[in-house]
Amino acid sequence: MSTTTPLRTPEHDPYTPEQAQELHAERTGRRMSAGAFNARQLVTSLPDAFRKLHPRHQLPNPVMFVVWVGSVLVTVFAVLEPTVFSIAVAAWLWFTVLFANLAEAVAEGRGKAQAESLRKMRRDTVARRLREDGAEEEVPGNDLRVGDLVVVEAGQVIPGDGDIVEGIATVDESAITGESAPVIRESGGDRSAVTGGTTVLSDRIVVRIATKPGESFVDKMIALVEGAERQKTPNEVALTILLSTLTIIFLLVALALQPMAAYSGRQVSVIVLTALLVCLIPTTIGALLSAIGIAGMDRLVQRNVLAKSGRAVEAAGDIDTLLLDKTGTITFGNRRCTELIPVGGVDRGELAAGARLSSLADETPEGRSIVAFCAENHGVDNNGAAGDGAPAGEVVNVPFTAQTRMSGVDLDGRQVRKGAAGSVKAWIREHGGTVPSEVDDVVDAISAEGGTPLVCAEARDGSARVLGVIRLSDVVKPGMRERFEELRAMGIRTVMVTGDNPLTARAIAEEAGVDDYLAEAKPEDKMELIRREQEGGRLVAMTGDGTNDAPALAQADVGVAMNTGTMAAKEAGNMVDLDSDPTKLIEVVEVGKQMLITRGALTTFSIANDLAKYFAILPAMFMAIYPQLDKINIMRLATPESAILSAVIFNALVIVALIPLALRGVRYRPSTASALLRRNLLVYGLGGIVTPFVGIWLIDLLVRLIPGIG
């Protein structure tokens, strides 16, 4: 199994964890504020909205195409027989089409802003291509082909996407990820992929080009965030068919009203029939449907996640099973010191001093965690002493090796070691010491609980003794149990995938609160698990970064590849996390569900809206023929003309009013499907019925003041 590699190694990270957290919060805040809706976007998007009035753009949206045709028809009649009423209806029908275009233009505008920032980083470069004889030749970056080897040194721009085949370097990827700190990229492993347009800051690397000119990762990002490659998702297609069906039904209803009126001895004008049709078909959701889909992908971009299609975002909202790597996702990437257990009557402070002293030269994350734990919990100073000052004499560091499985220091006739239990016990006996029986009991207990025991010992004056046992544990990230409970409330089953033994896996799974776990997992085990879940009709999401993760990422319904991973992983997944944060998968699911909920809520509101408009327009149309209809004129609108015009105006203005909600999304709360349905019906169903009564009545108070209408 491939474990997730941290974005930056601690040795190269110029920030403390606290500083890194502040930088991340600041950068995230900037992205979120940039993505938030503001009124200025309406003004700046108006030119695009006018350009979208072309019938070629309206044709793919059946609802708005009917409105566009109706606007043209009413405009023709208004020109032939101009009246205040006909001109006003024609104007507001065009406003309806314009406001629908405006919703889409605003959504696309935010993507274009992101694309523009990406274009600034994309520039033509001169590549140093290696010939077969090993000599270098300078060629334009656009002449590179898949498989070419190029040399990139400090200060140079990587000319194309590819994998490092030789060397290690720090790379500035801030233009893509927004992260100012450089990252480490090296040949082999899961951190070999590099992106064209990023800058090498140090050392020398050889890159094998993996993409053709114009098909680089940045080119794909630009096309995707602009919406140029956006295709309708299955749910969106199904909803479009439903809206088209409703539009056809109401069109037939409107056509049938004219013979009914003629039979009663009256004629209903084409303008009134068109106004009725536009108000009764689901124009609100028809106008906002495209914007909702674009905004869903934009919300992922704000979180530095690139979705290759809207289908992937939508699938994330329907996920049933979530596969999560243990290391780096559920737990911190490395085991940490969580407890010191003295043995043989040794004082805990003496054990802490010895443990810290043996770890001062240990540059591994585990070693640093022991140093920090002893300082924070036992008051041991930086020299490994509890208030006794620096140890005297020459200090010799003893590094860890695979043969000795120990590390430590030698100083002033004293030797301090920590390491695997078997190795340290053998070392004790070599130096004339004995091992208390309780050591084995403590070691076995820690191992049974899924931890890693390290025995700490010292030798001096020809004898040796055990000081105690250090417990290293996989530390579950704060808040993970609560997040898994939220996912459980959504009906999502969580499965932890790890290469650890079943004992350790079970301990971490119980602590984190996941529903199930897969221990000692190999790539084929992940594939088998995904297929087994999918055979039961469930949708599966997972994260990965290595080449061996690629098959599982391709098999999963939602595969989120880490940006630090290999090109194979990024090509196999349908999303790429530019921050390489495996926990981002949970946010992806939330964004997907928010998009589905927003679409459902606005659909409910739109259809409920139409119900109220019956009570405004139908009495106005037929009250003169059927006086009994006056009983359902509950708003007491002034005249038939004012009632119809008020309904048309409300129909247009409600689109503008709902644009912020469509772009921002309905607030998501983890809940069951039945609870979400009840909330939708209560808030947006009831709200969709009440709002038109209030809105049309208020608009009528103003419209009735217009001469020729009131």
**Per-residue model confidence (pLDDT) at position 117:** 58
Considering the domain boundaries, does residue 29 fall inside one? Answer: no
State the pTM of this model: 0.65
In this predicted structure, what is the pLDDT of residue 551?
85
Specify binding-site residues for ATP.
362, 366, 400-407, 418
Mean pLDDT on 179-187 = 71
- Which letter, b or e, does each residue of 333-352 get, where b requires 16 or more Cβ atoms within 10 Å of its Cβ? bbbbbbebbbbeebeebebb
The reply to whether 169 and 261 lie within a common domain is: no
Quick one: 347 and 459 in the same domain? yes
Q: What is the CATH number of the domain that holds 200?
A: 2.70.150.10
Of 578, 605, 632, which residue sits at a domain end? Answer: 578
User: Do 231 and 278 reside in the same domain of the chain?
Assistant: yes
Asked if pLDDT for residue 75 goes beyond 90, the answer is yes
CA–chain centroid gap for 666, Å, is 16
Per-residue pLDDT, averaged over 472-489, amounts to 83
363 or 175, greater pLDDT? 363
Statement: residue 208 has pLDDT above 80: yes
Q: Is the pLDDT at 545 greater than 70, yes or no?
A: yes
236: left (phi over 0), alpha (psi -120 to 50) or beta: alpha
User: How many domains does one find in the chain?
Assistant: 4
User: Is 33 domain-assigned?
Assistant: no
Q: What is the mean pLDDT of the chain?
A: 80
User: CATH no. for residue 510?
Assistant: 3.40.50.1000
Is the model's pLDDT at 104 over the cut of 70? yes
Instruction: Band the pLDDT of 177: cuts 50, 70, 90.
Output: low
Token readout for 306 is 């690139």
State how far the Cα of 422 lies from the Cα of 437, in Å rounded to an integer: 13
Do 503 and 566 lie in a common domain?
yes
**DSSP-derived pairing of the beta strands 183-186 and 162-172:** antiparallel
Residue 217 lies in a domain: no
118 against 90, higher pLDDT:
90
Quick one: average pLDDT of 153-168?
Answer: 85
Residues 336 and 457 in one domain: yes
Q: Which of 148, 163, 325, 700 is catalytic?
A: 325
pLDDT score recorded for residue 388? 40
Containing structural domain, residue 137: 126-159+161-210
Return binding residues for Mg(2+).
545, 549
The residue ranking higher by pLDDT, 186 or 246, is 246
| Contact of 302 with 594, CB cutoff 8 Å | no
Q: What is the CATH number of the domain that holds 422?
A: 3.40.1110.10
418 with 462, same domain: the answer is yes
Dist CA 354 CA 366 (whole Å):
15
Rounded mean pLDDT, 268-289: 88
Q: What is the pLDDT of residues 293-308, one digit of tens each?
A: 878 877 887 787 877 7
- At 675, the pLDDT band (50, 70, 90 cuts) reads confident
- For the cut 90, the answer to whether the pLDDT of residue 98 exceeds it is yes
CB proximity list for 480: less than 8 A, separation 6 or greater: 330, 512, 513
* Percentage of the chain exceeding pLDDT 70: 83
Mean per-residue pLDDT, 672-696: 85
Across the range 465-488, mean pLDDT stands at: 86
The better pLDDT of the pair 453, 449 is held by: 453
Is residue 691 one of the residues assigned to a domain? yes
Is 448 in the same domain as 350? yes
- Considering the domain boundaries, does residue 621 fall inside one? yes
- 202 and 100 in one domain? no
Q: Which two tokens stand for residue 472?
A: 């290293």
Residue 215 lies in a domain: no
Considering the domain architecture, whether residues 250 and 132 belong to the same structural domain is answered as no
Q: What pLDDT, on a 0 to 100 scale, did the predictor assign at position 78?
A: 92
Binding-site positions: 362, 366, 400-407, 418, 545, 549
- Among 242-251, 376-385, 512-521, 656-665, the range scoring the smallest mean pLDDT is 376-385
Residue 32: what residue type?
A: M
Lowest mean pLDDT among 109-118, 492-501, 688-697: 109-118
In a domain, 284, yes or no: yes
pLDDT for residue 352: 92
* Rg of the chain, C-alpha, whole Å: 33
- State how far Cα 302 lies from the chain centre: 8
- Structure tokens, 141: 């970056």
Residue 269 lies in a domain: yes
C-beta of residue 169 within 8 angstroms of C-beta of residue 147: no
Q: Does residue 558 have a pLDDT over 70?
A: yes
User: Among 546, 578, 610, which residue terminates a domain?
Assistant: 578
Q: Do residues 444 and 481 share a domain?
A: no
More confident residue, 285 or 260: 285
Q: Are 292 and 599 in contact (CB under 8 A)?
A: yes
Name the pLDDT band for 32 (thresholds 50, 70, 90): very low
At 174, the pLDDT band (50, 70, 90 cuts) reads low
Q: Is 325 a catalytic residue?
A: yes
Q: Tell me which of 22 and 130 has the higher pLDDT.
A: 130
Single out the residue in 448, 475, 502 at which a domain terminates: 475
One domain, residues 74 and 63: yes
pLDDT at 65 > cutoff 70? yes
Q: In this structure, are 310 and 272 located in the same domain?
A: no
Most confident range, picked from 171-175, 328-332, 338-342: 338-342
pLDDT of 5 reads 28
Nearest by Cα to 639 from 241, 182, 88, 101: 88
> Of the segments 233-242, 322-331, 373-382, 465-474, which one has the largest average pLDDT value?
465-474
